[in-house]
């Protein structure tokens, strides 16, 4: 949960998650839809799918016992080298380094490592440096100290160098390069994508579709998107509904890591076509929207649309 997400945002999700899934066995046995519902709002939903797959893999391939070898841990779904090493160090006392964002920043400043730390060349050098710096014992305490140093003192924007326990060793401080290290990610133009999203109202409920298991918002419920070259009425009929007049509602934006999404919602009341017995859409009562497995941007957009469509 802490990958790409701040602690303050994670804590309530973490508490609810552990309350619902206190063991690997309970997590592995749960439907993925339950996992996604508890993750709704945290973003980066591949983490939730991988966590669920990881629990099932441990149950089926490791007899329910979480492996202690960092190289084996790194083969589990959703776990890379740094996370695998952190688990091995904290849980099993392994003498291995980690390289999360905070640790990268500390190492780049302390040892004057230039270049973007996410590039292959710089990251390789940082792994080698992190391994050389490992103490002979109490590795778990050392690694926690590294992370805390980066999170609370050697911060990105306003580092507190006067409080830093390694200030005398810091190359960036010595040569007045704290602001420029580590180097920022090279900027690229952010592409935009525009989609028309349809808010189908069926009585007191709204009709949603289940996203594919992989990709953006994978496995979550979302609003149907209008394909190119198709009208709103045609899409409604394909999905098994007859639609009334469509009303354009204010657009909304959402920024992903690699692109910006412009969502243009259109609302209509629908009724099922008499000859249709099944539909791919999921009907959700308005009162259930707050607890449903919806991406946070879609939840906000839907709440605004429903208020406007009263």
Interval 163-196: pLDDT, tens: 999 999 999 999 999 999 999 988 888 899 999 9
- CA dist., res. 281 & res. 242, Å (int): 14
Architecture of domain 1-66 in CATH? Orthogonal Bundle (1.10)
Instruction: Say if residues 13 and 266 touch (Cβ distance below 8 Å).
Output: no
pLDDT digits (tens, 9 = 90+) for 122-132: 999 999 999 99
Domain boundaries, the chain: 1-66, 97-187, 192-308
Cβ–Cβ contacts within 10 Å for residue 50, how many?
15
pLDDT in tens, 98-148: 999 999 999 999 999 999 999 999 999 999 999 999 999 999 999 999 999
For the ranges 2-11, 136-145, 268-277, the maximum mean pLDDT occurs at 136-145
More confident residue, 78 or 278: 78
In sequence order, what DSSP letters do the residues of 56-111 get, joined into one string?
HHHHHHSTT-----HHHHTTSTT--HHHHHHHHHHHH--------HHHHHHHHHHH
Q: What is the pLDDT of residues 211-254, one digit of tens each?
A: 888 788 888 899 999 999 999 999 999 899 999 999 999 899 99
Q: Are 53 and 77 in contact (CB under 8 A)?
A: yes
Topology of the domain comprising 97-187: Endonuclease Iii, domain 2 (1.10.1670)
Candidates 55, 44, 53, 34; CA nearest to 1 is 44
Q: Which residues lie across from 247 on neighbouring strands?
A: 267
CATH superfamily, with its number, for domain 192-308: Nucleoside Triphosphate Pyrophosphohydrolase (3.90.79.10)
């Amino acid at each position: 949960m802490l990958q790409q997400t701040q602690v303050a945002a994670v804590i309530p999700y973490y508490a609810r998650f552990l309350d619902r899934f206190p063991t690997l066995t309970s997590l592995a046995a749960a439907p993925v839809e339950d996992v996604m519902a508890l993750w709704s709002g945290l973003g980066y939903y591949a983490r939730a799918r991988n966590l669920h797959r990881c629990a099932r893999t441990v149950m089926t391939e490791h007899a329910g016992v979480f492996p202690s070898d960092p190289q084996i841990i790194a083969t589990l779904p959703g776990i890379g080298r740094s996370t695998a090493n952190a688990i091995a160090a904290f849980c099993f006392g392994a003498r291995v380094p980690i390289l999360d964002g905070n640790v990268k920043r500390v190492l780049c400043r302390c040892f004057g490592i230039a270049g973007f730390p996410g590039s292959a060349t710089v990251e390789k050098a940082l792994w080698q440096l992190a391994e050389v710096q490992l103490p002979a014992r109490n590795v778990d305490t050392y690694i926690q100290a590294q992370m805390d140093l980066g999170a609370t003192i050697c911060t990105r924007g306003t580092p507190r160098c006067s409080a830093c326990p390694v200030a005398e060793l810091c190359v960036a401080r010595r040569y007045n390069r704290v602001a420029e290290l580590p180097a920022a990610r090279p900027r690229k133009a952010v592409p935009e994508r525009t989609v028309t999203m349809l808010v189908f109202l069926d009585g007191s409920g709204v009709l949603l579709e289940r996203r594919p298991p992989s990709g953006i918002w994978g496995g979550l419920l979302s609003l149907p998107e209008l394909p190119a070259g198709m009208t709103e009425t045609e899409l409604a009929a394909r999905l098994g509904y007859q639609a009334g007049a469509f009303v354009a509602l204010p657009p909304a934006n959402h920024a992903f890591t690699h692109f910006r999404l412009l969502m243009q919602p259109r609302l209509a009341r629908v009724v099922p076509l008499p000859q249709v017995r099944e539909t791919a859409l999921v009907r959700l009562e308005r009162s259930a929207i707050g607890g449903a497995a919806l991406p946070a941007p879609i939840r906000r957009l839907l709440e605004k649309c429903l208020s406007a469509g009263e």
